[in-house]
Amino acid sequence: ELKVEQNPLFLSMQEGKNYTIYCNYSTTSDRLYWYRQDPGKSLESLFVLLSNGAVKQEGRLMASLDTKARLSTLHITAAVHDLSATYFCAVAGNTDKLIFGTGTRLQVFP
């Protein structure tokens, strides 16, 4: 059974600092996704990573994938308040259903 773990669960960080969110998964998959969710809202797609060594960047966020280690990271550079949200990674299982991690609640303070 495919399982996805994220850490940390909560992250409180100061503006301007850097940090990394980790996503581990238990079995082989060919796709990994990162989503952002604001309170009471739906999911916003951030990145889709398809291959080993894939790296994608958008603004202050950068995601990478190591399929051999079954690990993806979401790196935050010089955090700003607008990045405060919950971030989920998800891995495609059989039949393309998404198995989500527990989420990382990020709070950026001045």
Partner 1 sequence: NAGVMQNPRHLVRRRGQEARLRCSPMKGHSHVYWYRQLPEEGLKFMVYLQKENIIDESGMPKERFSAEFPKEGPSILRIQQVVRGDSAAYFCASSSAGGPVYEQYFGPGTRLTVT
Exposure letters 25-61 (e unless 16+ CB within 10 A, then b) = beeebeebbbbbeeeeeeeeebbebeeeebeeeeeeb
Binding of residue 12 to partner 1 (CB under 8 A): no
Binding of residue 22 to partner 1 (CB under 8 A): no
The CA-based angle 105-13-98, given to 5 degrees, is: 25
Binding of residue 98 to partner 1 (CB under 8 A): yes
Q: Which is nearer to partner 1, 68 or 95 (CB)?
A: 95
Interacting span for partner 1 (CB under 8 A) from 13-21, 34-42, 53-61, 63-71: 34-42
Q: Which of residues 56-75 bind partner 1 (CB under 8 A)?
A: none
